[in-house]
Structure 1
Amino acid sequence: MKISEVVEALRAEFPALSVSKLRYLETEGLISPHRIGNGYRRYSQADVARLRFALTAQRDEYLPLGVIRERLEDMDASASAPDPAPVARVVASRGRAVEGADMSLEDLRALTGASEADVNELISAGLIAADARGRFAPQALRITRLALEAARLGLPLRNLRSVRTSAERTADSIDQATRPARRRSATAAEDSATRLAGLIGELHGELLHLAVRALS
């Protein structure tokens, strides 16, 4: 399903759901839709089931997203328990890593081809980090792949620290811009922050391409 189709399918149950809210839940690690060649998201029925579970817990139990994510992770990691319908697993019961789930260092290396030195370099640069259990969030997978591709094209991994610093500065600016909205509505502030992040990301890309063309 396309992202707009997912919103339409769930809107009767969750009238406040929006495309930006859906993207925000993805950045929080609750879902990990498949990306097709042009980068567009495609959602499976399992993704929709996980969304329904998360949105219901948020609406009916007033749970923060961190707690909801932990519940999903516990369900995913419990190989002996029956499938927690309607929530589909994202980790195979035999322990095989799949994309869209938290992963160990070994899983991350297996899925990206990174060496242990590569991973340590990315951790040192602040691009990825393991949690208290030594596991990496799903976003670490794409970050690692992008970083390795940049390194293959001649940009050392250690030089990517500036990218992380730039992202953090931009996030601070977005936080300041959406702070007034947060006092009125946390959901509205999340939507605004997500839209701003997307716009600034596109703007940064355009300016970067202009700057690179100016080098020639």
Structure 2
Amino acid sequence: MAHTPMSGAGERGTAAGRLMSIGAVLNRLREEFPEITISKIRFLEAEGLVEPQRTASGYRKFTRGDLERLALILRLQRDHYLPLRVIREHLEAYERGEQIQLPAQAAPREAADEEPWEPPAADHRPAAARIGRDELLAAAEVDEARLAEWESYGLIAPLPDGGYDAGAVTVAKLVADLGRFGLEPRHLRAVKAAADREAGLVEQVVAPLRRHRNPQTRAHAEATARELANLSVRLHAALVRTALGVRPS
């Protein structure tokens, strides 16, 4: 695993090098973390794990040190499945110049030539990043009762271990925003059903690739799934705008 060295704490608060917008940081991180979103970066900022500068008009500006810090956080989540509390402790130790002993990474399982490859059970697929229930409530700025209601309608679902993937934060914030316009969870069941159908179409395309014995083909399946998902979202948005007669913003 290639690690980008993390700059010291002093660099984080200074304009070391060219400052970057949150969009530029997102593009840089996506080279290694394709699932990263702006919402995830904002969540990490809200948790105090990264502290970008702010312009007079309130826009976030990130230094190279901030970018490296975010990359380190995401690696600790992806490769070692560490909770944010432990990651925070590691970051503080890094800033003090201490060496940290991380748990060993699990070696990828190589299937024997004579054995057909079987996809892992959904319960054991590692998530790009996982957060706890309290973290989701804080990020979405909602209470327990509202989250429970969203779950009852299937808009948000916990993972088998009780945590949530990073996408749950995005869903929760969007559901909350729609609620300000009077759209309740029961109104959004049709949206969820449509999303499930679109996901089913994507799965039909990539399922044969995921079952392939060649690791490169299986890796290509994930890239194909992401591309199809992005195209599906764009098509859905275009169809809704067309139906409403609304021009793209």
- Code of the residue aligned with 1:73 in structure 2: it is L
1:33 aligns with 2:41: yes
2:33 corresponding residue in structure 1: 22
Checking the alignment, whether the CA contact within 8 Å between 1:181 and 1:188 is kept in structure 2 is yes
1:73 CA displacement? 2.2
What SS class does the counterpart of residue 23 from structure 1 fall into? coil
2:125 corresponding residue in structure 1: none
Change (3 A) 1:207 1:71: same
Checking the alignment, whether the CA contact within 8 Å between 2:130 and 2:163 is kept in structure 1 is no
Change (3 A) 1:127 1:3: same
1:34 CA displacement? 4.5
> So what's the TM-score if we normalise by structure 1?
0.60
Q: What is the CA–CA distance in structure 2 between the aligned matches of 1:108 and 1:199, rounded to whole Å?
A: 27
1:4 CA displacement? 4.6
1:48 aligns with 2:74: no
Change (3 A) 1:77 1:129: farther
Q: What is the CA–CA distance in structure 1 between the aligned matches of 2:182 and 2:141, rounded to whole Å?
A: 17
Task: Provide the aligned length of Structure 1 versus Structure 2.
Answer: 168
Task: Name which of 161, 165, 168 aligns with 2:193.
Answer: 165
Q: CA RMSD in A?
A: 3.9
Checking the alignment, whether the CA contact within 8 Å between 1:50 and 1:86 is kept in structure 2 is no
Change (3 A) 1:193 1:86: farther
Change (3 A) 1:3 1:85: farther
Checking the alignment, whether the CA contact within 8 Å between 2:29 and 2:71 is kept in structure 1 is yes
Checking the alignment, whether the CA contact within 8 Å between 1:103 and 1:138 is kept in structure 2 is no
1:12 corresponding residue in structure 2: none
1:62 corresponding residue in structure 2: none
- Code of the residue aligned with 1:203 in structure 2: it is L
Percent identity over paired residues:
24
Checking the alignment, whether the CA contact within 8 Å between 1:33 and 1:44 is kept in structure 2 is no
What SS class does the counterpart of residue 22 from structure 1 fall into? coil
1:195 CA displacement? 0.7
What SS class does the counterpart of residue 73 from structure 1 fall into? coil
Considering fraction of residues, name the structure with more helix. Answer: 1
Q: What is the CA–CA distance in structure 1 between the aligned matches of 2:199 and 2:85, rounded to whole Å?
A: 30
- Code of the residue aligned with 2:240 in structure 1: it is L
What SS class does the counterpart of residue 228 from structure 2 fall into? helix
Query: Which has the larger Rg?
Result: 2
What SS class does the counterpart of residue 165 from structure 2 fall into? coil
Change (3 A) 1:150 1:79: closer
Which ranges in structure 2 are unaligned for 5 or more consecutive residues? 1-23, 44-51, 53-57, 103-128
Which ranges in structure 1 are unaligned for 5 or more consecutive residues? 8-18, 55-67, 88-99
Checking the alignment, whether the CA contact within 8 Å between 1:111 and 1:141 is kept in structure 2 is yes
Residues 75-114 of structure 1: CA distance to partner in whole angstroms, max 9, x if unpaired? 8547777668598xxxxxxxxxxxx76122x443333332
Task: Name which of 123, 129, 149 aligns with 1:121.
Answer: 149
Q: What is the CA–CA distance in structure 1 between the aligned matches of 2:178 and 2:192, rounded to whole Å?
A: 14
